[in-house]
Amino acid sequence: MNRPDTLNVPEMDIDPFSTDFLAMPYPDHERMRQAGPWVWLKRYGILATCRHAQVKAVLSDHVNFISSAGVGLANFNQEAPFRPKSLILEADPPDHTRARTILARILSPKTVAQIREHFSAEAESLVDRLLARCRDGAVIDGVKDLAEVYPLKVFPDAVGLEPEGRHNLLLYGDMIFNAFGPRNELLQRAAEKVQPVTAWIMHHCQREQLRPGGFGDLIYQAADQGEISHQEAPMLVRSFLSAGVDTTVNGLGNALLCLAQHPDQMEKLHADPGLARSAFEESLRLESAVQTFFRTTPHEVALEGLVIPPNTKVLTFLAAANRDERQWPEPEKFDIQRRAAGHMAFGTGIHACVGQVVARLEGELILNAIARRVKRIELVGEPVRRLNNTLRAMSSMPMRWIPA
């Protein structure tokens, strides 16, 4: 699609789904932020924004920027979704409200208080085991040994999944988040692996597979009460399984990398482990695990002097908003004592991450457990990125922990 005449914004030839861009997105974010509040990315015929104020404005306006036409590049008004649409992420009110009410209740602060003990015990014992290996002189992998292991243990436990086969959740997440981009090689490769994985996921969304009293079962209880149908219940369980693992895996991986690359900040964290929560928050701001989401205009939208035609895909760069100098002093600096509140890593508005309490709990507990035992994290090899159309991900990060 060519840039409509009513959209008098700079046109740019940046491909935000190319290998180079995904490997190092920040210089292009900066170019787009400098070019203006809005840019037109001509390769895909989409409107995009990298500035905090505009990202926030789009995500806060679910009437003019809808989710039911897909939160990726594809416009579901014009092409069929590759999988049945999510009842929550890819829905607008009133459908969205129905699903959101149930998930928000399940993930309330009260629930989090209940799971805290188990999540904490698992964090402590995992960090103890890894530190023992470091004391024996071994190199550990921050991704394979920690960032993947912990969320794959605690979150599916809370949902009520059996222990076997959980690695399928990583493959599924990789595919889902690639599918928000174009049909490029990354998506093709992820999709090739995913056929048996999808069958496993859908099987494990069935009530019989879920431990009574777990998050998954609570969704079925909501169906028993008539809040959603029994056909819809497995779809909402699927939302937990798609959104709740790969996101935190990469949130934790990115946090570890930030701390390894900034020994002064690791020192501060070690001196005051109470900073664990704000350290996790700051790493989410600086290296946002979820980099982008789209919206679609359902009708003509007038905004900031622009007239945006109906069915325009609008790309919000959450990660770029989080480094906008208009919002943050010294945005490139990793400062665990910064007040990072207001970052866009969990989105904002009615679709803001419903699982953020769980993600924050995981981040805080792991960083706190490390902070009390470790004074320095040393990288002993180049971290290997796992490119994904939406996630800032890693596949490996060899490191050594220097005990206190």
| Nearer CB in complex with ligand HEM: 265/316 | 316
Looking up tokens 């945006």 gives 308
Contact segment (CB under 6 A) with ligand HEM among 120-128, 259-267, 353-361, 368-376 equals 353-361
Interacting positions 312-341 with ligand HEM (CB under 6 A): 318
Does residue 248 interact with ligand HEM by CB under 6 A?
A: yes
In whole angstroms, the minimum distance from the beta carbon of 322 to ligand HEM comes to: 11
| Nearer CB in complex with ligand HEM: 178/248 | 248
In whole angstroms, the minimum distance from the beta carbon of 42 to ligand HEM comes to: 24
| Nearer CB in complex with ligand HEM: 265/291 | 291
Contact segment (CB under 6 A) with ligand HEM among 10-18, 180-188, 288-296, 379-387 equals 288-296
Query: Which amino acid is residue 404, in one-letter code?
Result: A
| Nearer CB in complex with ligand HEM: 234/251 | 251
In whole angstroms, the minimum distance from the beta carbon of 236 to ligand HEM comes to: 8
* The 46-49 sheet, strands edge to edge: 11-12, 39-41, 46-49, 313-317, 292-296
| Nearer CB in complex with ligand HEM: 134/365 | 365
Size of the site for ligand HEM (CB under 6 A): 28
User: Which position among 243, 314, 320, 321 is part of the footprint of ligand HEM (CB under 6 A)?
Assistant: 243
Binding residues for ligand HEM (CB under 6 A): 59, 67, 71, 88-89, 100, 103, 107, 239-240, 243-244, 247-248, 251, 289-290, 293, 318, 345-347, 351, 353-355, 358-359
